[in-house]
Structure 1
Amino acid sequence: MGGEWNRLTRDGLRLLQNRERRREADDRRWGGFLKYDLHPVGPFSGMFQLYGNRNKSDVEITPGTDESSRRRDLFQVEGRGTYLFAEGLSLTAGGEYRRESLEGEELVDSATDGESDRVKALFGQIDWQPADWFNIVGSLRFDDYENSGSQFSPRLVASFFIPHGRFWLAYGHGFRAPTLDEMYGEVYKFQGRQVYYGNPDLDPETSRGYEAGIELRGPRVWGRVVGFYNHLEDKIEAQRISTSGRNSTFEYHNVDEVWTAGAEVEAGINLLDHLTLTGQSTYLETENEETEEELAYEPNWKGSLTLKWNVPAFKLETRLHYLYVGSCEDGEGNRLDGYDRVDLYVAKALTANLRLYAGLDNIFDEDNDDFTQSPFQVYAGVNISF
């Protein structure tokens, strides 16, 4: 079991909608969970969990609007069990219930004093390995949303094991209901220059996806390549509805037909016994079949490099991380520049139960007008385990 309570208050001048204003904010969050793991009793194992939290935010902007508040509640209960019929054949089944609510002044005009959504779900999965070289996993999930209706989501993955790796093929249906913010929210971003309005008439997003991949591992080197294609119907996307100078207003809409396709490459190498370099890159093509244009804010290229160096003699762990996000379309035919950033993390164990850590985020203080990025930050902390 566990719980949390956090409070963050801020008072100062902020540039909002191209004007310097005084902003007073008070954010509070509290919640808890209770989890029970049933370790294997014969062929059966399981898990049961209760979880809930509340987020409350009060904001006053001067000059501007009156004090506004927003409250978000979440309650979730879930359970699942796995039964091992025989070596290489198991069945997992379970269910979930979740209730979310959102209330406050910053909601669209059509919203009531508070909006909520409930979802009930059942799911099952069969994992069968009839031979050393072959494995097949089939799963089925049923979701029933109070606001968005019901949907079955099947998925099938076949894996073929080869020397030093595996090759797999996968097919599945996806289902994503709109969030409460996408239906009823009024969200400000980029110092208030962009306002995102919810749309209560949104339909859920559905998809069909195909995937093929291969993974190989050696004593010092590993890598994998994955190709994918997805066809989406009623994709939920924020569309610009008005612009005034640097200020823009967006509203969430459904896009009838969309496809995405691309490839992911990951690789790693142990340069020395405790020095590892890993990298990942994704290439993505997208198209709105109605307009034959690329999807907004979906970069063609993304990638990262991570260099890890552990020094066991000094109980020291270091990690240098580089992230790159390429250019993309803004939905109106304009090309937006990409960005990159470098982060550093260092941790040292003082005892078996005490560890100190520190880090630098966005070391070179990279900035971009079109994407939200945290500025250069320094942090440090201590981790104690019992």
Structure 2
Amino acid sequence: MKRYFVAVLAVFCLMIPLHSVPAQENEEVTANSAEQEKSGKDEKEASVKETAALEPMVVTATRTETPLSEVTKSVSVVDREDRAVREQYYIPELIDTLPGVIMERNGGPGQFTNISIRGAGAQYTQFQYNGMPLRDAADTQHTLQYFIGDLQSASNLDRIEVLKGTNSTLYGTQAMGGVINIIPERWREGLTVSLRNEMGEYNTFIENGRFAYGQEKYYIDLDPLYTTTDGVKNGGKYGYYYENLGFTAGAGVKLRDDMTLELSNIMYDSDLAMSEHNPSLDKNYQLVKNVADPNSHRESFLNQTGLNFNHQVCSMWDYSVKASYGETERHYFWSKISGDRSNYDGSTSYVEMQHNVHATEWLTLTMGMDYEGASYDGREPLDPGSGIYDPVDFDYDWGGYDLFGQAQFAFFDRSLFFTGGLRYNDHEEFDSKVVGEVSAAYIFKQTDTKIHSHFGTGYRTPSLYEIYGGYIFMGQLITVGNPDLEPEESTSYEFGISQYFLDKKIELGLTWFHIDFDDQIAYDGFANQYVNAKEAQTQGVEASFLTRPCKYFSFGAAYTYADSKYKNDPTDAWIRKEYLPRNKLSFILETYPLERLSMSAKITWQDEKIVPLYDPYWNKIRWEEDSVATVDLAATYKVLKDYKFFKDLDLFMKVENLMDENYSEGGYTMPGRWVYGGLKMVF
């Protein structure tokens, strides 16, 4: 029933702007008025446009287009040019070099991958695609964690923006650690046809295609992708195979010069081998290598379709209406016996309206509301131990409304910036909640110095599984969900400084951060139930260095120190958080030694981590995983440029783990040296 309600609400919101279309007899007056408004707007935004011409714009920090130098929070960006020179199309690897971003990957392609921002748990990272939330409503913590391994970037990727710190005011529940916004390219004019073929060891093939065509009034963009590999064996008989068929699409039409309607879609359909056993220790307390199980595998499906309507009413006022519907499926096949499987299916409905009022040159107001509905449909076999595989169903759903507002101030010739905002959450199952944030930045233009600070409060409502979840054991329903759970809360602080030298050929950045988490939800093994038991905290620093002395060379470095810890009880001592390093350091070198040749090198180091494992006697051990440094190389040579029907013809080669390091992530064995090569054609 709620799905139909959301659909009706979306259609209603989209129809509202159509009433503002003027009658034909008023078109001449409207045209004159529009011309005057346009002239006024051009003058008002001249300084902003001048800044924008010199540097990239970001949208995730404020939900409005803002020059990167003027944002008051910590935002990092990687774009399609970074991806091209590194030949890295896997999104988690692409952003892993950013300060504050920590990736954990349990094996080769497709295997479980998590992204932590500033040492906060992965459940506090909000993923967005084209500005709309990506979620798995069937996940135990309502995250995207089981689909991150599928996130190969499509050919139409424009950039990825990573917003760090608690940002629930702008993005609601789950954004207590940060936001990762995957933004596709839009409104590309002309015809673009491209094909990228990548081949590697273990029968690995990665394919990307693109067909795009656009004019001033419309565009269409179709981007299929495909990944397959036999996978590594880790000394076992079978490989960790993986297959992923993906697709992204975009289309848009200008209904009028000031009115657009756009459609977006992202989809992944994958199948991967699972492990025969979880990581463990032998009697000598050495890690037992995980191997692939020939009888079990997981099939996953992620799909989100979004609609975005934008209307520039006048120079001072614009608004947008967004609606999306996403669905996820995770089907675990535990053996080859028919019926021995578990299904976890979810759906998310989302509707949003946002208004932006550019009141003056120094004040922009943003106001909006959104509705999000979630549905979880689970299925388990009744009693596999007794050979009874009759399915038992779980089916739950809920929803909630949010109101949000923000004010952006710019003073002293756009040197001093303030931003403040509030969000009101009204969930149908929990008490209403108000969170807020304030941030500021000051630019010393004479010295190219910027200082910035941010304070924010956040929340995360429990997932459907944490409230209602359960499983079947020997034919009996065991409930682990807890209807008495309260939403988690967080408080975030940061203070940073950035400095440019030599006409911005050198850039330095340093930011201190601190996040407190209260009422953290955890699984209590003794009570066999989810409880609000934990306090958690992460604090540290992130530093960055980037130099571009000339167009042929760039060098960047990023360092993150995150001291993440928690308490099971307020009276307990702090415990270091598992699976996360305290220190992480990465270097990126990009060079163009020849006109047609580009080369890159990436070096990543992280120190030891704590991984909870069992020994042969079922004792739980806080095992220390060794530190590791890895080196990746890539080179691309442009064979042809603007030759007959080829716009570009590139040959490339890539090596991951060049030094063939033998290491593990979270107890799972990581692949050794892996060599790829390929061809990219643009017509």
TM-score, normalised to structure 2's length?
Answer: 0.47
**1:122-161 counterparts in 2 under 5 A?**
122-132=403-413, 133-161=415-443
Q: Please say if 1:29 is aligned against 2:302.
A: yes
Give 2:585's aligned residue. Answer: 303
Cα distance, 1:260 vs structure 2: 2.8
Q: Which residue type is aligned with residue 45 of structure 1?
A: D
CA distance in 2, matches of 1:254, 1:310: 54
**1:23-62 counterparts in 2 under 5 A?**
23-39=296-312, 41-62=314-335
Q: 1:126 to 1:55 in 2, by over 3 A?
A: same
Contact 2:379–2:393 (CA under 8 A) maintained in structure 1: no
Q: What's the secondary structure of 1:290's corresponding residue?
A: coil
CA distance in 1, matches of 2:271, 2:623: 38
Cα distance, 1:312 vs structure 2: 8.2
Cα deviations by residue, 1:73-117 (Å, 9 ceiling, x for unpaired): 12212221211111111101112211222222259xxx9722234
Q: What's the secondary structure of 2:400's corresponding residue?
A: strand
Q: Which of 273, 276, 279 is matched with 1:15 structurally?
A: 276
Q: Which of 369, 377, 381 is matched with 1:95 structurally?
A: 369
Q: 1:106 to 1:200 in 2, by over 3 A?
A: farther
Give 2:666's aligned residue. Answer: 370
Give the number of the structure whose residues are more often strand, by fraction.
1
Q: Which of 484, 505, 508 is matched with 1:220 structurally?
A: 505
CA distance in 2, matches of 1:362, 1:182: 38
Q: Please say if 1:284 is aligned against 2:580.
A: no
Q: 1:320 to 1:305 in 2, by over 3 A?
A: same
Cα deviations by residue, 1:51-76 (Å, 9 ceiling, x for unpaired): 12222233322278712222121221
Say how many residue pairs are matched. Answer: 365
Contact 1:82–1:90 (CA under 8 A) maintained in structure 2: yes
Give 1:233's aligned residue. Answer: 518
CA distance in 1, matches of 2:355, 2:682: 29
Q: Which residue type is aligned with residue 442 of structure 2?
A: F
Give 1:173's aligned residue. Answer: 457
Q: Please say if 1:164 is aligned against 2:448.
A: yes
Contact 1:61–1:67 (CA under 8 A) maintained in structure 2: yes
Q: 1:375 to 1:156 in 2, by over 3 A?
A: same
Cα deviations by residue, 1:232-286 (Å, 9 ceiling, x for unpaired): 21123466x38xxxxxxx9754344333322111111225423211111122234
Q: Which has the higher contact order (CA 8 A, sep 6+)?
A: 2
CA distance in 2, matches of 1:260, 1:131: 35
Q: Please say if 1:2 is aligned against 2:264.
A: yes
CA distance in 2, matches of 1:178, 1:381: 45
Q: 1:308 to 1:369 in 2, by over 3 A?
A: closer
Q: Which residue type is aligned with residue 367 of structure 1?
A: Y
Q: Please say if 1:294 is aligned against 2:579.
A: no
Cα distance, 1:140 vs structure 2: 0.9
Q: 1:6 to 1:136 in 2, by over 3 A?
A: closer
Contact 1:362–1:374 (CA under 8 A) maintained in structure 2: no
CA distance in 2, matches of 1:125, 1:172: 13
CA distance in 1, matches of 2:320, 2:649: 30
Q: 1:51 to 1:84 in 2, by over 3 A?
A: same
Contact 2:605–2:630 (CA under 8 A) maintained in structure 1: yes
Give 1:334's aligned residue. Answer: 622
Q: Please say if 1:268 is aligned against 2:517.
A: no
Contact 1:106–1:186 (CA under 8 A) maintained in structure 2: no
Give 2:492's aligned residue. Answer: 209
Cα distance, 1:21 vs structure 2: 4.6
Give the number of the structure whose residues are more often helix, by fraction.
2
Q: What's the secondary structure of 1:211's corresponding residue?
A: strand
Q: 1:268 to 1:148 in 2, by over 3 A?
A: farther
Give 1:193's aligned residue. Answer: none
Q: What's the secondary structure of 2:419's corresponding residue?
A: strand
Q: Which residue type is aligned with residue 513 of structure 2?
A: F
Q: Please say if 1:86 is aligned against 2:360.
A: yes
How big is the alpha-carbon RMSD for the aligned residues of Structure 1 and Structure 2? 3.8
Contact 2:559–2:585 (CA under 8 A) maintained in structure 1: yes
CA distance in 2, matches of 1:251, 1:328: 27
Q: Which residue type is aligned with residue 116 of structure 1?
A: D
Contact 2:407–2:421 (CA under 8 A) maintained in structure 1: yes
Cα deviations by residue, 1:114-163 (Å, 9 ceiling, x for unpaired): 22342321111111123233221111112223344321111111222222
Q: What's the secondary structure of 2:664's corresponding residue?
A: coil
Contact 1:340–1:366 (CA under 8 A) maintained in structure 2: no
CA distance in 2, matches of 1:308, 1:75: 42
Contact 1:208–1:230 (CA under 8 A) maintained in structure 2: yes
Contact 2:552–2:592 (CA under 8 A) maintained in structure 1: yes
Contact 1:47–1:79 (CA under 8 A) maintained in structure 2: yes
Unaligned runs of 5+ in 1: 188-196, 243-249
Q: What's the secondary structure of 1:375's corresponding residue?
A: coil
**1:246-261 counterparts in 2 under 5 A?**
253-261=531-539
Unaligned runs of 5+ in 2: 1-262, 279-289, 382-391, 472-479, 613-619
Q: Which residue type is aligned with residue 257 of structure 1?
A: E
CA distance in 2, matches of 1:303, 1:170: 24
Q: Which residue type is aligned with residue 125 of structure 1?
A: Q
Q: Please say if 1:119 is aligned against 2:392.
A: no
Give 1:192's aligned residue. Answer: none
CA distance in 1, matches of 2:669, 2:312: 43
Give 2:131's aligned residue. Answer: none
Cα distance, 1:293 vs structure 2: 2.0
Single out whichever of 123-132 and 64-73 deviates more from structure 2.
Answer: 64-73
Q: 1:85 to 1:98 in 2, by over 3 A?
A: same
